[in-house]
Amino acid sequence: MSPAIEAAVKKTEPMTVAFIAVKGHFEQIPTAFNRLYGWISEKGYKARGPAITVYYDIPGQVPDDELRWELRSQISGDIAESEPDEEGLGVKHLEATQVAAAMHRGPYEKLEETYQALTLWVEENDYEINGPPEEAYYNDPAQTPSGEPLTEIRFPVRRT
């Protein structure tokens, strides 16, 4: 059974992000975040806002080693876009996007319940998903009591 959620449609802000594009199992996410933030530091960029993961493939529909995903961190300043380097690291500008969003408080293992509830909310409110889902992480799980991570799940949407 899906949990009760508070969902809303909102517009994200345009932003410049440093990113790392990855193909492989989601277990690589912590290591990839370390690489991304190390690269941001090396370049002298200033990270701000929540870290974000974008999922282009769904586990079970694609072999784990073929899953495509991207980690993003908003960065400050007037920084030019750059294509991904040999490690998948680069910079891009994102336009504002209309998303359906819901907050999930609790362990990542329970995110699927919030995904299901948000998917149902989107359908019941006459929207359709028109892009890959993303998660924005509002606290650091390494420094947050177990079971208390705060994650915003977002689906790009349009009216049906």
Per-residue pLDDT of the chain (160 residues; tens, 9 = 90+): 456 899 999 999 999 999 999 999 999 999 999 999 999 999 999 999 999 999 999 999 999 999 999 999 999 999 999 999 999 999 999 999 999 999 999 888 899 999 999 999 999 999 999 999 999 999 876 677 666 889 999 999 999 9
Domain that holds residue 93: 7-159
The answer as to whether 65 is a domain residue is yes
Question: How many Cα atoms sit within 13 Å of 113 on the Cβ side?
Answer: 13
User: Are the C-beta atoms of 96 and 13 separated by less than 8 Å?
Assistant: yes
Residue 105's beta-bridge partner residues? 150
The answer as to whether 88 is a domain residue is yes
DSSP assignment letter at 66: G
The answer as to whether 2 is a domain residue is no
The answer as to whether 1 is a domain residue is no
The answer as to whether 104 is a domain residue is yes
**CATH number for 140:** 3.20.80.10
Query: What is the enclosing helix (H) or strand (E) of 17?
Result: strand 15-23
Tokens read off for 135: 């998660």
The answer as to whether 33 is a domain residue is yes
Q: What pTM was estimated for this model as a whole?
A: 0.93
Question: In the prediction, which pLDDT does 3 show?
Answer: 65
* Total domains, the chain: 1
Cβ neighbour number for residue 24 with a 10 Å cutoff: 15
Would you give the end-to-end CA distance of the chain in angstroms?
Answer: 26
The answer as to whether 58 is a domain residue is yes
The answer as to whether 84 is a domain residue is yes
User: Are the C-beta atoms of 112 and 106 separated by less than 8 Å?
Assistant: no
